[in-house]
């Protein structure tokens, strides 16, 4: 399947957007721009890359994006459950790993679910920002575990909730 990349310059530094014909597959925080990203843009960008760039433009402009971005994820059923809950967390809001675990346990009709399992699932989130795992915090609201680094997590939360 044809895969295409695009470089997106953000306030967090460059982001590498990756998509195929079915949808966006990855957003990667970059410290260096890899050669394949420098060559991006030679073809007409795939629709998912165009939609993701417009979505990110709105997001970084302080808006709640209203652009649908097709996603093409390779995920387990548990990762999908976690993602679906995370995608309900509103801009400027947070939820703990434990709260997500409790919701999944309730959906499954089981007494409890480990918060660590939620953390592991989110650690495999290939599309940060669009799937807002930066909105998930530790039990006391502390910032923990973010693939882009805790400083980026803090900046994203500040962008979403500038009054706090």
pLDDT of residue 44: 82
**Is it the case that residue 35 has pLDDT exceeding 60?**
no
pLDDT of residue 158: 94
Give the rounded distance of the alpha carbon of 144 from its chain centre.
Answer: 15
Q: Same domain for 47 and 122?
A: no
pLDDT of residue 128: 96
The pLDDT tens digits of the residues spanning 120-139 come to 999 999 999 999 999 999 99
Q: Which of 16, 3, 4 is nearest to 128 (CA)?
A: 16
Residue 71 lies in a domain: no
Domain span including residue 90: 77-160
Backbone angles phi, psi at 70, to 5 degrees: -65, 135
- Residues designated as active site: 133
Instruction: Tell whether pTM > 0.75.
Output: yes
Q: Same domain for 44 and 81?
A: no
The pLDDT tens digits of the residues spanning 77-136 come to 999 999 999 999 999 999 999 999 999 999 999 999 999 999 999 999 999 999 999 999
Q: What is the CATH number of the domain that holds 11?
A: 3.30.160
């Amino acid at each position: 399947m044809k895969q295409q990349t695009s470089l997106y310059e953000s306030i967090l530094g460059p982001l590498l957007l990756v998509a195929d014909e079915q949808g966006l597959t990855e957003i990667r925080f970059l410290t260096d721009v890899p050669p394949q990203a420098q060559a991006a843009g030679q073809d007409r960008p795939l629709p998912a890359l165009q939609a993701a760039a417009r979505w990110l433009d709105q997001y970084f402009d302080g808006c709640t994006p209203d652009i649908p971005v097709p996603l093409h994820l390779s995920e387990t059923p548990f990762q999908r459950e976690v993602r679906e809950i995370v995608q309900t967390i509103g801009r400027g809001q947070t939820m703990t790993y434990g709260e997500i675990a409790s919701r999944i346990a309730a959906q499954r009709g089981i007494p409890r679910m480990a918060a660590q399992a939620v953390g592991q699932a989110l650690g495999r989130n290939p599309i940060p920002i669009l799937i807002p795992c930066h909105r998930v915090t530790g039990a006391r609201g502390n910032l923990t575990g973010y693939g882009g680094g805790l400083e980026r997590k803090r900046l994203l939360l500040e962008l979403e909730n500038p009054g706090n």
